[in-house]
Structures are given as structure tokens and as C-alpha cells.
């Protein structure tokens, strides 16, 4: 009983039902009338939805056909779920839709509402991974479309729910602020997902977040659509579970419908959409469906379902149900149904034959092209654009109180002032996270922002990093500028899929048509005296570094932080880049460099219009010819500058020090220049030995220099950071830098 045969069986069931129809035919029904007593779906519209169901089904057959010829690469289908066409019909085409992989009929139906989209051809282009695929350009088979307001989603089930909730929450905040948005004020967000996915902590968390916000009085216009086929690959969902879990939740309107009945789903979806749109309340639409033809073409269902069970499911095929309805109510004759079905088959087959002739991606350059867009001039211009002087004056409390007119201050203060300027410069910027509002953040970096800009723009979220990042992604989909804060680096790891899987991949899977530019502020790195333990001193950046396309910034001093932030925001704004912004906690309050009270780590606030160029390191040269170059970042910069002084004073060794500032991409030109300037490079990396930055720096130098310099590294141990004072044994120190530098110069 092969999978291909099951498709033939299901196809045959349909054609037989129609061709062998023997019951008497009723008189033709007026298609202008509703198909249900008192309902809102006319016969005409019902037939269109039926056509979308059929088209989606034939796409699933064609996917298998293409796969069998080794021309197609994707066979996860929508067979049995086609009633989701009625959900699309109940929505507007500019209600942003975050769809899972069984929303084929939804996709087709929305295309009916958007001129100029041939959705089936687009889907087929995706299946054959053609570079002509208008959404991903051959990078994945996804339901996505810019004109249809369907951002592409990844295969990671449930990972799109936080952004749907986030977009709904952001929409309401932006509306309240009167901001211009790319969707109407009364738009709602919709997300579709399966019954097994509804158990994922990310889904449960997203629903929880929506309800938490609703409970505290926020509007959250999000429609959760659970397409419940009772199984997740091979694992049955216990009967009644989805309703038990979501049917009776405070604040969650719940509507159920039988996915075999197109008209019923339309009525239920129309009610659900109207409720969500008018009340701005989260709504859960629970559609019972069946899953036919296995999880995917490669799934051999007989391994976990008996033939009788498979046939029983197939007998519940919603297309059979729709055909029966059409014929038995007089909406369509058997031959009209058959003509629709067969003409659609022919059209899809013809499209299938055509798409295989279309081009595919042929080089790594083409593949990566949308990953990390960078427009240097525009970014530089945006970074150096400053808010109007009078606005700044008014906000800071008079010209004399402008930050650039104040005495030099430490990093936390300058960051705080830069965030003030950011919220001034970008009315569409929102700053949010745990404890950032009234408290002003754990380290007071966001002090005063809540008082100045109000609760709509600076607000506390609930304690869930996945939701914080989901909110950022959703907000950015609406062209807002999110500044989420993650309280400590250790807790970024808790939610990193929202960046790794979702935010960072959006431009890749949409050829840059959708973007979610943001600056994620993360309090990070070690060396905190007196407040110890791994979770507040996490120094592991490997999981950030291997995310394609993200920018990683790590300022070590106040003036750089201000100038870099201006550029980071410009990258998010101009090129839609995701910037991971690491703030070295231990340097927040650091004032001195070499001696007590020398004020060596205090900085003047850079004038408006001054920015640190993207990807450019800062070099501290030394007097005379240097013996070595120290390359570092973050706390390592402060330590290395101190070590450099000791080296010169006590050992007669002269060192240049480079603060990379941008950890991704690396400033390879400066690395090369430093290597060539001294012929000796000591890398001081407070990250771990394995997966830290030192590996990348070594590699970059070796690749860039025809004659590589002598190199050594002083790095963090491969460990978690311990409590108490034992961390000192695990991270580079002034003394260890001196020692390694001496060895490098001597050896
Ligand atoms: C986070 C994650 N874990 C595992 C998978 C592999 N996977 C893909 S679909 C699926 C089952 C989903 O079942 P359900 O949510 O009921 O949707 P259905 O396929 O039945 O429509 C699994 C386990 C995945 N894509 N993402
Ligand atoms: Mg399922």
C-alpha cells in the first residue's frame, strides 16, 4: 500500500462519487442565495471556495507527481484540511496571515482576493525550488506572498505564534500612538497550526501571552486557527484535548467547526473574525480536519495505522463532502463538479510541466544574496541623521542639559542617554522587556525612559523571552522599530530560536520582501564582582555567531556605545538587519582605567550626527614601534589597555590594542593591518575557548595574511562561570594578558 497509491485511491474516490452519482438531482439552486438558512455564504461564493479546495488538492497530487520524477522536493500537503479556504474568505487580504504548511486552500483563496497572483504556479515553483518562486526564490517551499500579506514561515512548528501575537499587540500600540502602518487600523493577525503543535511550549506561551495582555486590559486582535486532524506525524492527540486545553480559557473566545463542512467553517470563521476584529480580543478557531496521504509523501502511514483506519479517514474526505453538498443541494450538477475537478487537474498538471523548466539557484552567491543586505551610504546617512535640536532641547530639559554638553560619564549613563535620543529620533521605536519601565532596568540603563515616553512606547513585558522576541518580530513586520531587552545573555539562549530560526531567516526566505529589523539589547558577559554565577555572567557567544546574517555589536565604552547604537539602528531601519547588541555589564559603571579616580573610562556623549561606522574596529596605537597587537572586545578592551601599560612600564614591551566593537562581521581589514603592523597578534577573548571569537579571529587573520603573524590567545575556559571568586580562574585577566604577551614577544 504505497503512498502514491493512496493518492490515486483518494483521487478515485472523488471521481467515482461524482461519475457514479445515482440519486435523483434536485432542481438547480439559486446561487445568489445563502447556502445555509440564514447564513452569509452565497452559492456563488461557496463554489469559489470549493474551487479553492479542489485546486489545493490537485497541488498535493502534483507535488507527488513531481517528486516521483525527482523534480519536486516537497510533499507535505493540505489534503483533508481544505476547509481552511473558508477562513481566508472570512478575512481580508491585508489581515497578516502567519500560515503553517497545511494552509494550501487558504493560500489559494486569499489569492482570489488579490489581483495578479497565480498562487498555484507560485506554490509549484516553490516545490521545484525554482529561483522564480516569488516568495523565497527557491530557498524553501513556503506559503508566503508579499502582496497577499503572508510572511513566509519556517518549518519549526509553533514558532510563528509569538510573532502573530506580537504583531497584534504592536498594531494596537501603534494605533494608540497614531502611527502610520502598512495595514489598516482594524486589521487582525491570523496564525494557523496543528493539534500537536498546540502543545508546544512556544504555542502555549504565545496564547498565554495574548491572554496575559488581554487580562491586563490590552487589545490583542489575534486569531488562532488550530487545524485539528487528531494526529502529529504518528502520535494521536487524545480525543477532545484541544478543546480541553483551549476551549475554556479566560479571555480566549473559542469557536469550533467541522472542517468537512465548508459552509459551517465559513460561518464559524466569519463569527470568529468579526469578534476578533470588533472586540480586539484573542479568538481560538478550532477546526476539526482529517489528515490524508500521510504526514508527507515520505511518511508510510501503514507503519502506525491499519489499512482500515486509513480507509476510514479517507472516507471522511472533505472534498467528497463538498461534492455531495454541491450536487445534493442543486448548487452544481455532477458534470459541473467533474468539469471543475478535471479542468483544475489539467491546469495544475500543465503548470507542473512548466515550472520544471524554470531556473534554479546555481551559486552560493545567489543563495546568500538576501541574507545580510547592507547599503553603506544609506546606513551612514541614517546613522548620522539626528533629531531636530529643538525637540532634543525640549526633551532633555533645555540646551544646557543636552547630554553632549555634560561632563564625561560612564557607559550606563551614555547608553541611557542614547536610548533617549533613539526614542526621540524614531517615533516608531518601542523599548520593552522585563523590568525596563518604571524600575528602569536591572542596571538602570532604561531609567527615565518610561516617564518620558510613556507606557505605550516603553513597557514591561511578561516574563517570557520567547514572547519578548516574538513581539519584536511582529512589531517589525509592521515597520515599527523594536528595541527588545533580554535581561541577561543566559536568557537569550532560552529563546534563541526566535532569532536563529525566525528573525534572522525572514529576509532569506522572502528574498528580502519581508524584514524584521531590530536591535536586541542584551546585558551580557562576565567579570561582575560580587554578583556572580553563570547566569549573570554568561560569556558564551557561539550560539549568536553562527546565526547567518545577524549583526553582533559589543561596545566597551560609552562614546563607542552611542555611536554604534546610531549605526545599529540605521542597519535595522535601512536594511532590516537584526542586531544583537551585547552590553558588558561589568563595564556599565566602570569609571577608571589605570588608577583610582583617573576617570579613564568615562566618555563625553558624542555630538549628534557622529556615528561609529559599521564593522569598524577601534585601534589604540602606542608610541614608537609596537612589539605586538592585542585584539579584543568588551571587558577584554579595558583589561588589555591596562595590561598594555604594565607591559610597557614593567617589561619594555609596546602593544597596540584593538577593540573590535563589531563581533559580526569582523573588521578583517583592521585585523590584517594589525597583523602586518607588528607580526604578532595576541587575541584576548573573554568568550569560551571553544566557539568563542578567538577561533574566528585566528581564521580571519590566517586567511587574510599571505604570511600570517605569530599568534597566541588568552581566552575563557570551556566552562560555565562559577559563583564566588573562582570565575577569576576561568577568564582572561590583566596578569594573564601580560604573561601571554611576554611569551609571544619573547618566543
Ligand atoms: C519544533 C519542531 N519539532 C518537530 C518538528 C517535526 N514535525 C513537523 S510536523 C510535526 C507534527 C505536527 O503535528 P500537528 O501540529 O498536529 O500538525 P499536522 O502535521 O498534523 O497538521 C512534527 C513533529 C518540527 N517541525 N518542529
Ligand atoms: Mg495534527
For atom 8 of ligand 1, the residue with the nearest CA is 157
Determine whether the shortest distance from the Cβ of 154 to ligand 1 is under 6 A. Answer: no
Determine whether the shortest distance from the Cβ of 295 to ligand 1 is under 6 A. Answer: yes
Distance 232 CA to ligand 1 centre (A): 6
- Which residue intervals of 447-548 are DSSP H helices? 449-453, 465-477, 489-493, 497, 506-509, 542-545
Query: What pLDDT is stored for residue 302 in this prediction?
Result: 86
If one residue of 83, 199, 232, 238 were mutated to test the ligand 1 pocket, choosing by the most ligand atoms within 8 A of its CB, it would be 232
Average pLDDT of the chain?
Answer: 96
For residue 529, what pLDDT band results from cuts at 50, 70 and 90?
confident
Question: Which numbered ligand comes closest to the C-alpha of 200?
Answer: 1
Query: What pLDDT is stored for residue 531 in this prediction?
Result: 75
Q: Which atom of ligand 1 is found nearest the CA of 158?
A: 1
Q: What is the 3-state secondary structure (H, E, C) of 551-601?
A: EEECCCCHHHHHHHHHHHHHHHHHHCCEEEEEEEHHHCCCCCCCCCCCCCC
Query: What mean pLDDT do residues 324-339 have?
Result: 98
Distance 159 CA to ligand 1 centre (A): 11
Q: Collapsing DSSP states into helix, strand and coil, what is residue 288?
A: strand
For atom 12 of ligand 1, the residue with the nearest CA is 232
Q: Which atom of ligand 1 is found nearest the CA of 81?
A: 21
* Calpha distance 105→83 (Å, rounded): 7
Distance 156 CA to ligand 2 centre (A): 14
| Burial of 531 per CB tally in 10 Å (0-12, 13-18, 19+) | exposed
* Calpha distance 447→443 (Å, rounded): 9
Determine whether the shortest distance from the Cβ of 80 to ligand 1 is under 6 A. Answer: no
**Which cell is 285 given?**
478557531
Query: What mean pLDDT do residues 31-59 have?
Result: 97
CB 730 within 8 A of CB 744: no
Q: Which atom of ligand 1 is found nearest the CA of 76?
A: 19
In the chain, pLDDT over 90 holds for what percent of residues? 95
Question: Which numbered ligand comes closest to the C-alpha of 84?
Answer: 1
Cα angle 316, 321, 325; round to 5: 160
CB 667 within 8 A of CB 615: yes
Please tell me which residue, 299 or 502, carries the higher pLDDT value: 502
Q: What are phi and psi of 710, to 5 degrees?
A: -75, 135
Q: In this model, does residue 44 exceed pLDDT 90?
A: yes
Query: What pLDDT is stored for residue 199 in this prediction?
Result: 98
Query: What mean pLDDT do residues 656-676 have?
Result: 98
Distance 149 CA to ligand 2 centre (A): 25
Q: In this model, does residue 504 exceed pLDDT 60?
A: yes
* Calpha distance 69→695 (Å, rounded): 44
Checking phi first, is residue 385 left (phi over 0); if not, alpha (psi -120 to 50) or beta?
A: beta
For residue 125, what pLDDT band results from cuts at 50, 70 and 90?
very high
CB 83 within 8 A of CB 263: no
Query: What pLDDT is stored for residue 299 in this prediction?
Result: 84
If one residue of 102, 141, 193, 196 were mutated to test the ligand 1 pocket, choosing by the most ligand atoms within 8 A of its CB, it would be 196
For residue 441, what pLDDT band results from cuts at 50, 70 and 90?
very high
Strand partners, 524: 584
If one residue of 60, 80, 157, 224 were mutated to test the ligand 1 pocket, choosing by the most ligand atoms within 8 A of its CB, it would be 157
Q: What are phi and psi of 419, to 5 degrees?
A: -70, -35
Query: What mean pLDDT do residues 415-435 have?
Result: 97
Q: In this model, does residue 112 exceed pLDDT 60?
A: yes
pLDDT digits (tens, 9 = 90+) for 537-563: 899 999 999 999 999 999 999 999 999
721's CB contacts (< 8 A; 6+ apart) are 526, 532, 533, 534, 537, 538, 539, 727, 730, 731
Query: What mean pLDDT do residues 397-426 have?
Result: 96
User: What is the greatest pairwise CA distance in the chain?
Assistant: 105
For residue 2, what pLDDT band results from cuts at 50, 70 and 90?
very low
* Calpha distance 446→176 (Å, rounded): 22
Question: Which numbered ligand comes closest to the C-alpha of 194?
Answer: 1
Please tell me which residue, 95 or 391, carries the higher pLDDT value: 95
Indicate the pTM of the whole model. 0.97
Query: If you search the block for the grid coordinates 575556559, which residue do you land on?
Result: 717
Query: What pLDDT is stored for residue 300 in this prediction?
Result: 85
- Which residue intervals of 20-133 are DSSP H helices? 43-68, 85-90, 104-112, 119-127
CB 426 within 8 A of CB 179: no
Query: What pLDDT is stored for residue 1 in this prediction?
Result: 42
Query: What pLDDT is stored for residue 706 in this prediction?
Result: 94
Amino acid at each position: 500500500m504505497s503512498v502514491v497509491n493512496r493518492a490515486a485511491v483518494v483521487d478515485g474516490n472523488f471521481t467515482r462519487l461524482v461519475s457514479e452519482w445515482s440519486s435523483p438531482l434536485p432542481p438547480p439552486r439559486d446561487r445568489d442565495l445563502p447556502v445555509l438558512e440564514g447564513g452569509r455564504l452565497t452559492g456563488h461564493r461557496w463554489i469559489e471556495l470549493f474551487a479553492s479546495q479542489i485546486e489545493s488538492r490537485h497541488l498535493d497530487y502534483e507535488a507527488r507527481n513531481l517528486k516521483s520524477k525527482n523534480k519536486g522536493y516537497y510533499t507535505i500537503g493540505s489534503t483533508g484540511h481544505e476547509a481552511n479556504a473558508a477562513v481566508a474568505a472570512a478575512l481580508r487580504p491585508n489581515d497578516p496571515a502567519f500560515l503553517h504548511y497545511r494552509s494550501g486552500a487558504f493560500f489559494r483563496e486569499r489569492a482570489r482576493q488579490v489581483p495578479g497572483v497565480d498562487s498555484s504556479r507560485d506554490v509549484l515553483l516553490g516545490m521545484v525550488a525554482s529561483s522564480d518562486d516569488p516568495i523565497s526564490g527557491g530557498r524553501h517551499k513556503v506559503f508566503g506572498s508579499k502582496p497577499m500579506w503572508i510572511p513566509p514561515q519556517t518549518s519549526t512548528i509553533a514558532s510563528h505564534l509569538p510573532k502573530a501575537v506580537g504583531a497584534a499587540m504592536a498594531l494596537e500600540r501603534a494605533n494608540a500612538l497614531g502611527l502610520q502602518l502598512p495595514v489598516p487600523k482594524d486589521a487582525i493577525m491570523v496564525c494557523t497550526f496543528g493539534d500537536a503543535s498546540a502543545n508546544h511550549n512556544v504555542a502555549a506561551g504565545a496564547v498565554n501571552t495574548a491572554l496575559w495582555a488581554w487580562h491586563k486590559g490590552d487589545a490583542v486582535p489575534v486569531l488562532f486557527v488550530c487545524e485539528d486532524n487528531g494526529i502529529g506525524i504518528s502520535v494521536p492527540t487524545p480525543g477532545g484535548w484541544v478543546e480541553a486545553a483551549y476551549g475554556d480559557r479566560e479571555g480566549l473566545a473559542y469557536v469550533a467547526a467541522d472542517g468537512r463542512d465548508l459552509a459551517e467553517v465559513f460561518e464559524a470563521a466569519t463569527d470568529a473574525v468579526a469578534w476578533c476584529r470588533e472586540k480586539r480580543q484573542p479568538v481560538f478557531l478550532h477546526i476539526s480536519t482529517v489528515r490524508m496521504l500521510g504526514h508527507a509523501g515520505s511518511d508510510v502511514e501503514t507503519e502506525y495505522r491499519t489499512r482500515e483506519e486509513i480507509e476510514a479517514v479517507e472516507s471522511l474526505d472533505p472534498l467528497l463532502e463538498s461534492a455531495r453538498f454541491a450536487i445534493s443541494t442543486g448548487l452544481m450538477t455532477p458534470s459541473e463538479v467533474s468539469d471543475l475537478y478535471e479542468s483544475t487537474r489539467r491546469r495544475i498538471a500543465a503548470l507542473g510541466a512548466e515550472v520544471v523548466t524554470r531556473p534554479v539557484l546555481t551559486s552560493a552567491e545567489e543563495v546568500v544574496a538576501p541574507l545580510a543586505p547592507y547599503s553603506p551610504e544609506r546606513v551612514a546617512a541614517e546613522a548620522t541623521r539626528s533629531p531636530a535640536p529643538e525637540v532634543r532641547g525640549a526633551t532633555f530639559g533645555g540646551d544646557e542639559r543636552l547630554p553632549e554638553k555634560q561632563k564625561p560619564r560612564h557607559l550606563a549613563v551614555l547608553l541611557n542617554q542614547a536610548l533617549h535620543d533613539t526614542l526621540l529620533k524614531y517615533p516608531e521605536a518601542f523599548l520593552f522587556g522585563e523590568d525596563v519601565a518604571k524600575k528602569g532596568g536591572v542596571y538602570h540603563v532604561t531609567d527615565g525612559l518610561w516617564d518620558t515616553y510613556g507606557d505605550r512606547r516603553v513597557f514591561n513585558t511578561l516574563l517570557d523571552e520567547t514572547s519578548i522576541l516574538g513581539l519584536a518580530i511582529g512589531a517589525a513586520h509592521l515597520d515599527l522599530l523594536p528595541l527588545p531587552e533580554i535581561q541577561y545573555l543566559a536568557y537569550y539562549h532560552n529563546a534563541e530560536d526566535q532569532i536563529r530560526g525566525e528573525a534572522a531567516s525572514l529576509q532569506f526566505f522572502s528574498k528580502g520582501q519581508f524584514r524584521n529589523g531590530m536591535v536586541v539589547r542584551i546585558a551580557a558577559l562576565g567579570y561582575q564582582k560580587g554578583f556572580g554565577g553563570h547566569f549573570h555572567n554568561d560569556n558564551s557567544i557561539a550560539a549568536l555567531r553562527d546565526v547567518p546574517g545577524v549583526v553582533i555589536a559589543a561596545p566597551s565604552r560609552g562614546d563607542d556605545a552611542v555611536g554604534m547604537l546610531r549605526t545599529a539602528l540605521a542597519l535595522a531601519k535601512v536594511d532590516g538587519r537584526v542586531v544583537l547588541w551585547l552590553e558588558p555589564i561589568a563595564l556599565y559603571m566602570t569609571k577608571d582605567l589605570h588608577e583610582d579616580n583617573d576617570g579613564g573610562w568615562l566618555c563625553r556623549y558624542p555630538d549628534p550626527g557622529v556615528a561609529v561606522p559599521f564593522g569598524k574596529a577601534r585601534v589604540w596605537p602606542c608610541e614608537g614601534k609596537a612589539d605586538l597587537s592585542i585584539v579584543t572586545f568588551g571587558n577584554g578592551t579595558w583589561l588589555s589597555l591596562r595590561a598594555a601599560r604594565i607591559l610597557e612600564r614593567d617589561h619594555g614591551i609596546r602593544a597596540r590594542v584593538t577593540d573590535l566593537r563589531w563581533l559580526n562581521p569582523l573588521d578583517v581589514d583592521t585585523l590584517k593591518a594589525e597583523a602586518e603592523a607588528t607580526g604578532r597578534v595576541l587575541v584576548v577573548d573573554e568568550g569560551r575557548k571553544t566557539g568563542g571569537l578567538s577561533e574566528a579571529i585566528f581564521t580571519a587573520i590566517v586567511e587574510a595574511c599571505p604570511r600570517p603573524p605569530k599568534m597566541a590567545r588568552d581566552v575563557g575556559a570551556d566552562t560555565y562561570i562559577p559563583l564566588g571568586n573562582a570565575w577569576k580562574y576561568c577568564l582572561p585577566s590583566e596578569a594573564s594578558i601580560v604573561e601571554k604577551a611576554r611569551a609571544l614577544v619573547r618566543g
